């Protein structure tokens, strides 16, 4: 398999793991005040290429999540997202007027 294909495959899995993380995070008790519209907007923001690009090339960011998932499972992938993406996301969301 070519390295480009492998990167895309890892990113595809990473994208799915990121989407699951964001959905679960948006449904936690600390965020129960959010409307469905807010949740939808925050989901789109968190998973957007524009946001991910603040960490590097979006495909590579997603692929890194996919690699952690493949090597160590869902909990490790979620921890990776919390450690690398979540705080900056909260800052961006707050700057847009969301209470997160």
pLDDT value for 81: 98
DSSP 5-20: HHHHHHHHHHHHHHHH
pLDDT value for 32: 86
Tens of pLDDT along 25-74?
999 988 989 999 999 999 999 999 999 999 999 999 999 999 999 999 99
Average pLDDT, the chain: 96
- Sketch the domain layout of the chain as residue ranges: 3-95
With beta carbons less than 8 A apart as the criterion, state whether 90 and 100 touch.
yes
Can you give the pTM of this predicted structure? 0.95
DSSP 34-53: --HHHHHHHHHHHH-HHHHG
pLDDT value for 29: 81
Is the pLDDT at 80 greater than 80? The verdict is yes
């Amino acid at each position: 398999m070519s390295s480009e294909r492998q990167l895309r495959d890892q990113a595809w899995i990473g994208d799915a793991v990121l989407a699951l993380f964001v959905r679960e995070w948006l449904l936690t008790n600390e965020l129960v005040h959010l409307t469905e519209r807010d949740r939808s907007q925050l989901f789109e923001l968190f998973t957007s290429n524009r946001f991910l690009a603040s960490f590097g090339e979006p495909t590579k960011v997603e692929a890194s999540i996919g690699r952690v998932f493949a090597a160590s499972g869902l909990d490790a992938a979620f921890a990776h997202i919390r450690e690398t993406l979540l705080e900056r996301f909260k800052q961006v969301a707050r700057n847009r007027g969301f209470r997160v």
